[in-house]
Structure 1
């Protein structure tokens, strides 16, 4: 059966608009819209059958013309039949497959464009909310009619509305992977939802004071609601690295919230020095996404003066979030600790400690202090290098380079035997970390 024959067969059973008829042959031909395909098919059928009727007065040809007019809702066929004196036609009002949603294309596009006016973006993608019953109805229709060259209703709707939105905007492009904006359209309810995808800003931070966590610590008594325990702040600490960094970014981007992604984290009572720690700040639903990062860097550092400092800001993406988290355990870090021992120390023991720990493999069972939030397991870590400088009879500076994720305080104390070997076990002298700083984050290993 040729294409015209298949189209007539379909229209005998179902009322279809130009879009929906053409879409059943959407994989045939190039540079045609489905509406143009449908109109062309109906026109071709009209010309053939009208000629047959004029030449041989075929009742079958007249029947097909009636189908075009009534089921195809085709105005040229209606006019032809009127010229033949047939006026009492039962013309369908609704397309069986789309419920006439393709008549709303311009309305839906205009609604979407109106909602986009105050949002900064350069790329978008259109998606549609098609009810399951409509999708299932088209699937059943195709099965019954043996349609093999058809395109999905959702695909055509998204494309046609996307084209109208594109033509109504300046300098925007359609991108299928990671667009700035996702426009969700419910054609039946005439409802538009704008989903603004996050922006990601990557950089390095230094923490210049002790007593600030990397991220907000919600009060574990009131769970963020505010109580006497947390001075009605909903959090255990007044501020955090992430809050200090995000404050200015949220202001300039007009985002609704943020998520902080760090390449590892330092203890609350530790400084983060050297070149800084890699981080990515994810800003959710930003109304603005085009701004000068050099100016932003200055504003962040001014706001967080003497507390934190950021550098090397640049725009990033979600893929890099996964990468910085994945490489954190495989990144060498150098720490500086102030260690105090229970008994006085001779310099010879400190030299022995240096040589013993150099290139040493240690076993660390999850420290007791973090057991409430970490799985209890044994981790194998490497100590690469140790440098020691005696300060007092029972104090020394301990500079150690080790694998990322090494618990340095426990490397020093031994944590009641949960870390072996340790400074305490090697010296046979109880050792305690008094101060700890991260002074460098080195290359991946």
Structure 2
């Protein structure tokens, strides 16, 4: 239907300001603000009704309805002896005339945060939303946008002009929510995600929570990174996991460092070097990077080095038998040392290559190149038959892993 005729029907029943009328036709022409669109529709309707009125068509009631929300129509009616009082907008009650006034409060709330991108949200009175829905349903409007969208966009644009940066819908650093009811502003600081790799040089540092035998966690070691950005906490997301007594060497393990509630989103990305952990130079990341890293870690290829102690002497001929494990699919029940998972769960992982060297009569060094997720300690010691096949089973010996290192994460 012609938007002018549709507006004529709506205005007969509801007085609407320029913004609220124009918003009902928001998708009919881009690059035009709702107030401009509504004003143009009212002007066209005014011209049409005045033309009909002067040609003897009885449109007085439509003129009066338009006159409630259109000054030129009121002036025309007054010149013809008809008085019409201006009416408040049925939907917003006049709020949208100066909604940009909240921009200064938002800019002030963001002043203490060093951010790159922002977004504005709003809390709008429920009855205002219900009045808008009433009109949309009654007239079958399919071309509009919600009043919240308009409020957010207009305040966001005004804030952008004050701060000299545009609002962003693509995962902004900060979100400022304006309560239109009482004018308060709440700021949510989204986490800062930083991509990198870490090396763990110590056998007494745990990747996750503190466990027996560990003196600290990687997150504790990385706390200076949190401090650089003024965050409230640091969370490490890694591509796989190593035990606290396992070193992570080589090119390091892919990881995402998450800084909660930072006060700075721009800062030193040079990484960190300590005697326990080395973090490579960082770069900004996203939640999708975390998901992709986690998914890839289940299938990525890893290279391990283990030193194992045998209960009996191992000969070079014995070690040659381990070549039979290359290409094997290893089936593992959840290791007994891991109590958080179902003991009946079974995991299948591929062993691609294996090399073994004799260090002493009862000490061997084993290099295992395998699919990510293989429990390497249990692959070597057999875990009492819960892992098959295993190095211990193949050698016919009881093995204890005394050292384990991750040498590469491909």
The reply on whether 1:394 has 2:362 as its aligned counterpart is yes
Correspondences of 1:183-194 after superposition (within 5 Å): 183-194=176-187
Partner of 1:225: none
Correspondences of 1:3-402 after superposition (within 5 Å): 3-47=3-47, 49=49, 60-70=58-68, 72=69, 74-81=70-77, 89-92=84-87, 94-170=88-164, 172-217=165-210, 237-245=214-222, 247-294=223-270, 297=271, 300-301=272-273, 305-352=274-321, 354-374=322-342, 376-402=344-370
The reply on whether 1:419 has 2:390 as its aligned counterpart is no
Deviation at 1:267, TM superposition (A): 1.0
Change beyond 3 A, Cα 1:110–1:6 = same
Partner of 1:221: none
Asked if 1 retains the 8 angstrom alpha-carbon contact of 2:204 and 2:216, the reply is: no
Distance 1:48 1:251 in 2: 66
Deviation at 1:211, TM superposition (A): 1.8
Deviation at 1:44, TM superposition (A): 4.0
Partner of 1:429: 397
How many pairs were matched up? 410
How far does the alpha carbon of each residue in 1:115-156 deviate from its partner, in whole angstroms, 9 at most, with x for none? 122222332333333455433432321232344543332332
Change beyond 3 A, Cα 1:379–1:85 = same
Asked if 1 retains the 8 angstrom alpha-carbon contact of 2:382 and 2:390, the reply is: yes
Asked if 2 retains the 8 angstrom alpha-carbon contact of 1:104 and 1:187, the reply is: no
Change beyond 3 A, Cα 1:240–1:30 = closer
Change beyond 3 A, Cα 1:45–1:355 = closer
Deviation at 1:372, TM superposition (A): 3.0
Change beyond 3 A, Cα 1:355–1:142 = closer
Normalized against structure 2, the TM-score is what?
A: 0.89
Change beyond 3 A, Cα 1:149–1:421 = closer
Distance 2:53 2:352 in 1: 94
Structure 1: give runs of 5+ residues left out of the alignment. Answer: 219-234
Distance 1:273 1:17 in 2: 66
Change beyond 3 A, Cα 1:139–1:382 = same
Q: Report the secondary structure of 1:293's partner residue.
A: coil
Distance 1:434 1:2 in 2: 81
Deviation at 1:203, TM superposition (A): 1.4
Change beyond 3 A, Cα 1:394–1:51 = closer
Change beyond 3 A, Cα 1:236–1:66 = farther
Distance 2:305 2:125 in 1: 61
How far does the alpha carbon of each residue in 1:143-172 deviate from its partner, in whole angstroms, 9 at most, with x for none? 3234454333233222222222222221x2
Deviation at 1:3, TM superposition (A): 4.2
Q: Report the secondary structure of 1:369's partner residue.
A: coil
Change beyond 3 A, Cα 1:375–1:186 = farther
Structure 2: give runs of 5+ residues left out of the alignment. Answer: none
Change beyond 3 A, Cα 1:366–1:30 = closer
Change beyond 3 A, Cα 1:90–1:387 = same
Asked if 1 retains the 8 angstrom alpha-carbon contact of 2:157 and 2:166, the reply is: no
Change beyond 3 A, Cα 1:35–1:366 = same
Asked if 2 retains the 8 angstrom alpha-carbon contact of 1:215 and 1:243, the reply is: no
Change beyond 3 A, Cα 1:390–1:45 = closer
Deviation at 1:53, TM superposition (A): 5.9
Distance 1:35 1:371 in 2: 63
Normalized against structure 1, the TM-score is what?
A: 0.83
Q: Report the secondary structure of 2:38's partner residue.
A: helix
Q: Report the secondary structure of 1:432's partner residue.
A: strand
Deviation at 1:51, TM superposition (A): 6.3
Asked if 1 retains the 8 angstrom alpha-carbon contact of 2:214 and 2:244, the reply is: no
